[in-house]
Structure 1
């Protein structure tokens, strides 16, 4: 019996045409091409990114929903036709080993049930001329910060070097309320509640060259995303109302104290904004 090990790579992009070109070129240079390469563009004017994608005949371009990364990831999934899928950011470069190794892992996992999620590592290039930072998946602590080194089960992943089975997305989708941040750990939590598990394969790796484009905007919603998805985990996936209630009361206070100490009144204002946005996410998700 033949098992489907086909693979798609999805790239969500926004206002980063030069970075996108490097990402696509790294796929073009791979000794093996994915079965699909999908670029979903959340930029306000798609013409520049569309022109870049046109340079690579193997890539499919579409306009994204332009409401955030969670919804844009779902827009990619809507056109995926393969058995497995990877998501990379538009400022990620794949080494030549990535796609061939990803196929080996897909072939090994195709006959398993349920098919596992796979996480590799990311080398984050922050300062030119200095060694990159090695990013491995870490589990979330009580407050939702991914900084707990796993000692048994891995409940997180580095999405830029991850492989998802498409069968998962017939049962779950990325949260469309999340404009940026925590959408991948929210998906992992959902996957765990459905019986899926994550396996760590450090030989699977990518290079990440963080673009400054969009960073300030993304930074303004990261804390809101973390608080909303952590509260959602306790209430929806773990079904632990006590944890949910404790977190909902004390997480905003903890954030306000931390940001006020660090930035003064500006930090307090930022914490209020984050809490308000998290509450808006929660209200919309329950409506």
Structure 2
């Protein structure tokens, strides 16, 4: 009788442990940003909802200016159960991502981690299973401080994962220790965004690298995970590439403006060093003058500086 009772109690304990296990697993949120196109969002959401396990929360933030496009995108989101649709702030990709991640933070039971996916990105079915497996190997005290990144989503080195950093001139380069992420194949602790957000002075371009610089100063760390795979279905086909003025596309202008802003902020605020800041500014304008002259686009120097918002950088010390 005693043996039977012990066996039954053991069986109940095993079942309770099994039943509790899924609740103990980390929960993932996804912020999908879209603007002025409808042809790719449905496929993006299809892939996300087909993941095993699926994300606990998907938020679409739509920066589209055309009401008919927004209506179609809202209907697309509604066709995928559990997907939240938000109208974006229309102030650039950083503001759009912040709009989505604030919704994630506002949930009664927030997720543990969050990924940022553009509307033309297709994630692999095991994306979140891979992230979950990786986090099981991370020491418990570092779980809330660990960012994961996979490889690029297009190009000749697609999904080849190596450490990336920002060079002195604020270009992406290989490094010894990861300091940057591939934004569409990455996972962040959601709590990071309770204190840090994408810098909305950056309209577009390298904004994720600037966020990572600040995260590293807050003792976050970036780990490589080759299994985090996503596919860019429209490389080089963003909505900013279709507009060209005086030799530069809107995409190129925004990227160069962002590089100026990030470089000055990096050496003035994030990693304060006045000599490096002065050297960067001299290098930037010398290099940019030559670059624009070769492209017969010198007239774009002033619009680049104006778009950079560099005068909005605060010289206050970075909060620790």
TM-score by length of 2: 0.80
1:24-63 per-residue CA deviation (whole Å, 9 max, x = no partner) reads 0111222321110010111113212111111111211011
1:95 matched to 2:121? no
For residues 1-287 of structure 1, what are the structure 2 equivalents within 5 Å?
Answer: 5-44=26-65, 45=67, 46-80=70-104, 81-109=110-138, 111-113=140-142, 114-124=144-154, 133-134=158-159, 136=161, 138-146=164-172, 148-151=173-176, 153-210=177-234, 211-215=237-241, 216=243, 217-261=250-294, 263-264=295-296, 267-278=297-308, 281-286=309-314
The number of residues matched between the two structures is 275
Higher relative contact order (CA 8 A, sep 6+): 1
Conserved 8 A contact 1:4-1:83: no
Structure 2 spans left out of the alignment, 5+ residues? 1-20, 105-109, 244-249, 316-320
1:160-185 per-residue CA deviation (whole Å, 9 max, x = no partner) reads 00000012112211101111111100
Conserved 8 A contact 1:135-1:158: no
Conserved 8 A contact 1:123-1:135: no
Residue number in structure 2 paired with 1:128: none
Q: Return the offset for 1:246.
A: 1.5
State which drifts further: 240-249 or 211-220.
Answer: 211-220
Q: Return the offset for 1:69.
A: 0.8
SS in 2 for 1:202: coil
1:186-209 per-residue CA deviation (whole Å, 9 max, x = no partner) reads 100000111111111112111111
**Which structure would you say has the larger Rg?**
2
Q: Return the offset for 1:213.
A: 2.9
1:135-171 per-residue CA deviation (whole Å, 9 max, x = no partner) reads 645211111110x2122x2111101000000121122
Q: Return the offset for 1:123.
A: 3.1
Distance 1:177 1:6 in 2: 30
Distance 2:198 2:74 in 1: 24
TM-score by length of 1: 0.88
Q: Return the offset for 1:282.
A: 2.1
Structure 1 spans left out of the alignment, 5+ residues? 126-130
SS in 2 for 1:17: coil
The 3 A distance-change label for structure 1 pair 12 and 109 is farther
